[in-house]
Structure 1
């Protein structure tokens, strides 16, 4: 016999991957550097002025906001539905002395206390919206303020042409609302 017959018992974990933040980051963290490069390019291209505060709806473990806080010195915040992921994110931010916090909440229904310089919601997170109706209603209700001008970045589903769209919206007091400025 070449190999002795032995049985090794392995501990098996079952459940939702989002309930195991350490494993989640191991499985999904391989593209973090590329995602950060992309986000930094977007901030540089689409944000006027300095980016000091960023927000991520559906932040999960805080993988991206943690890196932006640690390497770029940004104040970071996020919101997520998973209590374990939010707790993990906050422990990581606190341990590293990063300014910011994750909050328990739904990315399609939240509010923020004050404006952010930039916000992002990756398509991997956006796909978790459960229905077309939820996707249509999902907008990042983040006011990005530069001087007296107010802006929103919104994600939504449109009919004509059909698809997913991200748009920059400008607050127009004379219209008592928001006007789409540019689609991305």
Structure 2
């Protein structure tokens, strides 16, 4: 059985549906909170760009896009997608924790990493290192839009999600199973099963992996470790930029809108700079 990241077409069929909605969401957030709200063409970085669905969607809108991913199959698919659409974008293979930008890369206006990809960083130091690298890649006032699911450690029931999608006669059913999180290790086990029907033949794929887990206090601790950023607002996975999210114990789908502080020499200490503004908590 193949790893679903090694067969980008099927992964893309499942997740491409919301690409234009997500692209519009990112544009609106920049207009609301970015360093240059009037800018029509943005420089955008996508860590863990996967199959390139958002790379292409944003490039179609005229933005200058760069991205990286750890999986070479995903990058090959992303390159092919851009070529078919007569689009171009610098893409390279790299890790979330310690990525390196190509030389002479100007600062970005916005970076984004949605759909919980950030949770692949399993160790204690990697998440903070990732935020520091993203901050270094952004211009002062630039935004980092970071989305991931939060964990309810008291919920010991397995979770299940199911998606069904079709493209050009290829039918894909995606089932993802998540086991209860282990609070002591801050990890949860996941399994994905794909059922692919193509040219009258049905095949199956199964992938296992682990995510790092976060509850709300752990998110607050994470943001304290990256004082280059201020938290501007939050949203959920509906990607409605006009509906900010009020965080509480029932919040589990979280999109953070982080803004790089204009002058890093004036960053307040964590003790007098709460990571969550009063308007958000």
TM range (shorter): 0.7 to 0.9
Shift of 1:89: 0.7
Q: Distance in 1 between matches of 2:268 and 2:47?
A: 22
**Pairing 1:124–2:116 present:** yes
User: Where is the helix percentage greater, Structure 1 or Structure 2?
Assistant: 1
> In structure 1, the residue corresponding to 2:19 is in which secondary structure?
helix
What is the aligned partner in structure 1 of residue 125 from structure 2?
Answer: 133
Q: Distance in 2 between matches of 1:52 and 1:153?
A: 11
Q: Deviations over 1:126-145 (max 9, x none)?
A: 12212343223221144333
What is the aligned partner in structure 2 of residue 16 from structure 1?
Answer: 3
**Pairing 1:78–2:78 present:** no
Q: Does structure 1 retain, via aligned residues, the 8 Å contact 2:98–2:129?
A: no
Q: Map of 1:1-184 to 2, 5 A cutoff?
A: 14-47=1-34, 48=36, 49-50=38-39, 51-70=41-60, 72-112=61-101, 113-139=105-131, 140-145=134-139, 150-151=140-141, 153=143, 161-163=217-219, 165=223, 166=256, 167-170=258-261, 172=263, 175=265
Q: Does structure 1 retain, via aligned residues, the 8 Å contact 2:44–2:111?
A: yes
Q: Distance in 1 between matches of 2:136 and 2:83?
A: 24
Q: Distance in 1 between matches of 2:59 and 2:85?
A: 9
Q: Does structure 1 retain, via aligned residues, the 8 Å contact 2:108–2:137?
A: yes
TM-aligned CA distance change 1:74 to 1:179, over 3 Å = farther
TM-aligned CA distance change 1:67 to 1:28, over 3 Å = same
Shift of 1:104: 0.5
TM-score by length of 2: 0.50
TM-score by length of 1: 0.73
**Unmatched 5+ residue regions in structure 1?**
1-13
Q: Does structure 2 retain, via aligned residues, the 8 Å contact 1:170–1:179?
A: no
**Unmatched 5+ residue regions in structure 2?**
147-212, 224-255
Q: Distance in 1 between matches of 2:268 and 2:87?
A: 35
Q: Does structure 2 retain, via aligned residues, the 8 Å contact 1:81–1:104?
A: yes
TM-aligned CA distance change 1:151 to 1:111, over 3 Å = farther
